[in-house]
Amino acid sequence: MCGIVGYIGGKDATPIILNGLRKLEYRGYDSAGIAVLNNETKIEVRRDAGKLDNLVNLVAREPVTGSIGIGHTRWATHGEPNARNAHPHVGTTGRVVIVHNGIVENYQELHEELAAEGVTFNSDTDTETIVHLIERYISKTGSLEESVQKTLQQIRGAHGLVVLSADEPDKIIAARIGNAGGVVIGYGEDEMFVASDIPAILDQTHRMSFLESRQMAIVSRKGVIVKTFDGKPITPVIQTINWDPIAAEKGEFRHFMQKEIHEQVRSLTDTLAGRVDFEKGIIQLPQLNLTSETARKISKIIITACGTAAHAGMVGKILIERIARIPVEVDIASEFRYRDPIIQPGTVVLAISQSGETADTLAAMEEGRLKGATTWSIVNAIGSQAMRVADGYISMQVGPEIGVASTKAFTAPMVDLYMLAILLADLRGTLPVDQRKKLVNDLRLVPDLAGRCLERELEVAELASELKDSKNALYLGRGINMPIAYEGALKLKEISYIHAEGYPAGEMKHGPIALIDKDMPVIALAPKDPWYEKMASQIEQAKARGGKVIAVATEEDKKIEQLADFCLWIPPVPWMLSPILTVIPLQILAYHIAAIRGLDVDQPRNLAKSVTVE
Ligand code: F6R
């Protein structure tokens, strides 16, 4: 969704902002713009539709310079994605300019009110109402800070906002209401940064703090003053973000997605680091604050998430139920809050989110909290809302994920859920020591085994060339690998635009089997797990109907090799950990099909990396 970058300091703001916007491209956008305060007197704006390169070229033709500025990548909600609707938006006086994330829910009403006062609108956006409101209050109070405050109290919805005034050239004001994405403040030497997301400013500074809802920051080159909307001073907590800025670069890879797929050996190693004591065979997840007493009180866990993260949750359900014998439900976050869910005493609502800013997931957590549940999160983005509002969290430790299609942030939470299951069972006293040690020890080889799947990239790429012109694909799985069928299909459709369906294999005979013919590739997950025999017979059924079967199977499995037309191999692995491996060839397959089709793998059409609107 929309991205924001702001700069105030002694350097030229333009390259810093454009560079920051480049780092935010992954969020998904359809236009971009920049506003710079020229000589601290005049606001200069450049905006264009389409890719950031269009804006960069525009700025090269019509340069803007100054040491204070703001920039934005827009993901259209109100008004077409054209240059006119791109941010920044300047008010009627030309003295105030804003960039904004979120939706002004009472926009119609405010628009009518302002139009009746004689305000002329220059765009079709809801955002423009905000700048006119700020100007209206400035004409009465003379103060930018007070005017922003008053405006924020008038607009409904969730927002991230950054404002600049030519009449107060010593500051940028940033504010946050609710969950329309984060607002990050970056601390430099005699310079400060503002952004919607950490990677935008990571090559400028590692020292950052985060705004909470209903807080605003008055940022000058010397530092920041943070307040609540009612004027209560807040001392910001400055964190050192240890993400490597290089991790946010493509390096030798063609796309971020390919790089992130390959990073999984590393990200899985980091996922285990500090959590698993292989000598003692124990798991430690200190940020959950779990004790034997609290673990024993848990009567149910509701995992809530969206998209890929929800698929990780489905694997987690099987792991937690098997290992810890606690009932688990998996609820799609966008559905959870609207059906008045029943939350009984002892319920934990566990959210999974890479960005930690997904509006639906945050709302589901809030619903759980309001109904008395303990809330936990498994989250990647440090300092994100899902991390901060939870009673306890597990940090994914996979570093920045830039490709819109989630890969390393899918395998890591499955490991987190496996570790959580062991920890819960141990604390509840239901896991015999030898079993615990075995389960913990099984984790030891996971990163290396993932590496062995990655070594087979060329074999998978070969299959991708064969499947590149398919119109449809059916992914089948059972048991713990059923969510991997969903995930494989999601990966293919979102980046290659090929229609794909994931289905529980046992359900095939109740309908989808009618789809099978020679033109329908069937990707069947058939590793050596407890559902193996069932999957083998499912493959036979598909073959009997003329289907072309591609099986994800365990190396040396002669039976599946004979049954299927093509095999994607994974090394032998204990079944509970098998989804971490079976998904890897499917990630690679989707990647190569999309790359061969010449598509924008990292920024597929219509998609955004963090979905901060409903
Ligand atoms: C698909 C994908 C999405 C996200 C979903 C949730 O590849 O990335 O389905 O998984 O939008 O996002 P987070 O995890 O940020 O809450």
Structure confidence by residue, pLDDT tens digits, 174-221? 999 876 667 999 999 999 999 998 889 999 999 999 998 899 999 999
3-state class (DSSP) for residue 20: helix
Helix (H) or strand (E) holding 507: none
Query: Rg (Cα) of the chain, in Å, rounded?
Result: 25
Given 3.40.50.720, 2.102.10.10, 3.60.20.10, 3.40.50.300, which CATH number is that of 3-244?
3.60.20.10
Cis omega (within 30 of 0) for bond into 81: no
Q: Domain spans of the chain? A: 3-244, 253-452, 457-596
Average pLDDT over residues 540-547: 90
What's residue 484's pLDDT? 98
CATH domain 457-596 topology: Rossmann fold (3.40.50)
pLDDT in tens, 372-388: 999 999 999 887 889 98
Average pLDDT over residues 351-358: 94
b/e for 212-243, b at 16 or more Cβ within 10 A? Answer: ebbbbbbbebeebebbebeeeeeebeeeebee
Given 1.10.150.120, 2.60.200.20, 3.40.50.970, 3.40.50.10490, which CATH number is that of 253-452?
3.40.50.10490
Nearest CA to ligand 1 atom 7: 405
Instruction: Give every CB contact of residue 64 below 8 A, 6+ residues apart in sequence.
Output: 14, 34, 36, 38, 44, 45, 46
Q: What percent of the chain has pLDDT over 70?
A: 97
Average pLDDT over residues 216-228: 96
CA of 358 to the centre of ligand 1 (A): 8
Average pLDDT over residues 23-49: 88
pLDDT in tens, 86-136: 999 999 999 999 999 888 888 899 999 999 999 999 998 888 999 999 999
**Pick the residue with more confidence: 327 or 74?**
327
What's residue 604's pLDDT? 85
Relative to the CA of 305, which ligand 1 atom is closest? Answer: 16
What's residue 215's pLDDT? 93
Please choose from 358, 384, 410, 614 the residue to mutate so as to test ligand 1's pocket, defined by most ligand atoms within 8 A of CB: 358
Instruction: Give every CB contact of residue 386 below 8 A, 6+ residues apart in sequence.
Output: 351, 353, 356, 357, 358, 361, 362, 365, 377, 379, 393
DSSP 120: P
Is the CB of residue 405 below 6 angstroms from any atom belonging to ligand 1? Answer: yes
- Angle (deg, nearest 10), helices 13-23 and 52-61: 170
Asked if domains 253-452 and 457-596 share a fold, the reply is: yes
Is the CB of residue 309 below 6 angstroms from any atom belonging to ligand 1? Answer: yes
What's residue 2's pLDDT? 83
Active site residues: 2, 609
Helix (H) or strand (E) holding 575: none
Average pLDDT over residues 601-612: 79
Residue 247 has pLDDT above 80, yes or no: no
Is the CB of residue 587 below 6 angstroms from any atom belonging to ligand 1? Answer: no
Is the CB of residue 498 below 6 angstroms from any atom belonging to ligand 1? Answer: no
Average pLDDT over residues 63-84: 89
Residue 151 has pLDDT above 70, yes or no: yes
3-state class (DSSP) for residue 358: coil
Considering the entire predicted model, what is its pTM? 0.78
What's residue 1's pLDDT? 66
